[in-house]
A and B are shown apart, each in its own frame.
Chain A
Amino acid sequence: MRFEEGMLEKEIRVGNPLGLHARPAAKFVKLSQKLNSEVYLEKEGERVNGKSILEIMMLAAEQGDLVKLIVDGEDEEKGIEILGSFLAGKDET
């Protein structure tokens, strides 16, 4: 278990026109599942597990929504970089 101080967080506006729906949500989860860190997403104070597609879909984040990405663990720097740019990007594949 890591301590609060060790984690990284970043506020990001969702860039994908589809929001964190459908394939973008699936892709996000696939990316976060590859990490050896805990991943969370927060929107309007609600925090969900970044490795759960169901929880992320329930967040219902739309394009332009502000979300907080939290990565906590051994590869948190790599994680915040990869997931952060994915969230901000417009990747539609």
Chain B
Amino acid sequence: MKLKGIPVSPGVAIGDAFVLKSEVISVPAYRISESKVPQEVKKFFDAILSTKRELRKIQERVAADLGGTYPEIFSAHLLFLDDPMLVEGTVELIEKEKWNAEKSFDTVVKKVLHSFSSIPDEYLRGRALDLKDVARRVLKNLLGKGEESLSDLKRKAIVISYDLSPSQTASLDRDRVLAFATDVGGRSSHTAIMARALAIPAVVGLGDISSKVKSGDLVIVDGNKGVVFVNPASETLKSYTRKKRRMVYLQKVLSQLKDLPAETLDGHRVKLMANIELPKEVENLANYGGEGVGLFRTEFLFLNREVLPSEEEQFEVYHYVASKVYPEPVVIRTLDLGGDKFASPLEIPKEINPFMGWRAIRFCLARRDIFLAQLKAILRAGKKGNVKLMYPMISSINELRQANHFLQEAKEILQKEGKDFSRDIEVGVMIETPSAAIISDFLADEVAFFSVGTNDLIQYAMAADRGNEKIAHLYQPAHPAILRLLKHIIDTGHSMGIPVAMCGEMAGDIHYTQLLLGMGLDQFSMGPVAIPQVKQVIRSVTYKETKELVEKVLKCSTQEEVKKILEKANQPFLKFFRRDGR
């Protein structure tokens, strides 16, 4: 059986399924005698205490894994356990009605959930889920079933479930999870972010995989293509096993490159950097040989939570990343919310055409409070680290100037507050709208660097949403129009004396490494796992030959011709990496 979903974290895993079912707890109900009341009350308090201990443990684990405000999700859970309504309410039922503790507690919880449901409020509906989560734990403890969760995971396995709650992922034994596959979710769901941070392959949005798979079934999760095979045919299994073995081997070979420079045979040096979204990811950077962070996405700070992050919280996160990569730089991109990302306290309205809508810098310029807090935090982190600032989605000089105006204001406020900050932080823009590419000479006059966001640039230039199956084929990095745009951006940057980086997916795709190298791209920023392969390509070619390659492809009028030439130039590498099906 083959299931298709959304790939949210790359890599391939083969292994046994571990299906996480949200089993129904049956609550026993019986009356107790007067003399048993104190014992029953004590049993209840013991269960509350054990649940508190569990939650604190989870909280610590999450703090260590993710930092930021993730642990706070559990603070509310803990408060529930102290709530007079729940606690005294339950004790009262035990004492007056002589119900057993389980039945008493369950009755009270149901009553609360009922009153929650009568209030038409999105927020409360979320809290109702939290309450259910906590109540489950208490009931389990009352019934002596111990801690629920993935700690039952005794062997390495692929975790399959409807969805994973933060408390579930937190209780996972990381070393035993080979991959995630879930029924629901998207790129910014909790499971997805977690999987990417831990470099575990994951596919979400698979429909009803959790009911189709049984624990122990053999499963293949392909986090590159977004497919999951359940009890695969022997041919499929063989080919994936081969692929997997090859990947392991390659990783070993390529890891020897980590301390070598990204330099061509004739001595042209470029910089390979990492795109990250969770602070934790910088810890592994050195293993891949990344030279700093070329794109630090800050959206995670604003997603899956209730309250906006404060300046202080943001500062701590930025400072942490900056100090970890120092003296290498970290390029922090200001908030790029909107488009396809939601589920945040910002309540960005849903739009018909979100990619062309109210997002990124457009959103920030309208939300002074949010933008200033972020700029202040970045400026402060810049005092101690090598921090650069980058605005997303710039489409005109006015936007850049407005954003810089806010930056100036942020500096003045910091000055007044007497806080340390970087006075001369480098400011760059992402070039991801065609308009920005076309006026890149004007932009270059007012910024310190460019970073090309190819994912958006290509879809805007081609007017094709790559998430839309019917037209995804129009999304073509090799289209002559895209090549001209890229060449134009890089040439303009250089003629104006500023470096040009790329942080879109194209930068980490070895099919385009020679092309981009030949165009003169200075910095390639990509998912850390792609760095060794790209470095391998760069170290095997001469700058001269890649420049000749560029000359050749720029003369092609169709993407097919371009691809053919690139394919030929890439053949030795493709053979070496044997990347099927792309």
Contact = CB atoms under 8 A, between A and B. Distances in A.
Interface of A: 18, 21-23, 26, 29-30, 33, 49, 51-55, 57-58, 60, 92-93
**Does more than half of chain A's interface fall in helix, strand or loop, or is it mixed?**
helix
Contact of B310 (A51, A60, A92): A92
B76 A52 contact: no
Q: Is the interface of B mostly helix, strand, loop or mixed?
A: helix
Contact of A26 (B76, B115, B116, B308): B76
Given A21-B306, A22-B306, A53 B80 contact: yes
13 contacts: A23-B307, A26-B75, A26-B79, A30-B79, A49-B84, A52-B84, A53-B76, A54-B80, A54-B85, A55-B83, A57-B127, A60-B121, A92-B307
Contacts of B123: 21-22
Contact of B83 (A23, A54, A92): A54
A21 B306 CA distance: 9
Interface of B: 72, 75-76, 79-80, 82-86, 112, 115-116, 119, 121, 123-124, 127, 131, 306-308, 310, 312
B124 A54 contact: no
Contacts of B85: 49, 52, 54-55
Contacts of B121: 60
Given A23-B306, A58-B116, A60-B119, A52 B83 contact: yes
Nearest to B308: A92
Given A22-B76, A22-B123, 11 more contacts: A22-B307, A23-B306, A30-B79, A51-B84, A53-B79, A54-B80, A54-B85, A55-B85, A57-B124, A58-B119, A93-B312
A50 B545 CA distance: 74
Nearest to A58: B115
A19 to B, nearest CB: 9
A52 to B, nearest CB: 5
A93 B80 CA distance: 20
A22 B119 CA distance: 15
B82 A33 contact: yes
A60 B121 CA distance: 8
A51 to B, nearest CB: 6
- Which 9 residue pairs are nearest across A and B when measured between Cβ atoms? A22-B306, A52-B85, A53-B79, A54-B85, A52-B84, A23-B307, A52-B83, A54-B83, A93-B310
A93 B83 CA distance: 22
Contacts of B310: 92-93
B122 to A, nearest CB: 10
A52 B80 CA distance: 8
B383 to A, nearest CB: 22
Contacts of B83: 52-55
A46 to B, nearest CB: 11
B367 to A, nearest CB: 12
Residue among A18, A30, A51, A58 with most chain B CB within 10 A: A58
Contacts of A92: 307-308, 310
Contacts of B76: 22, 26, 53
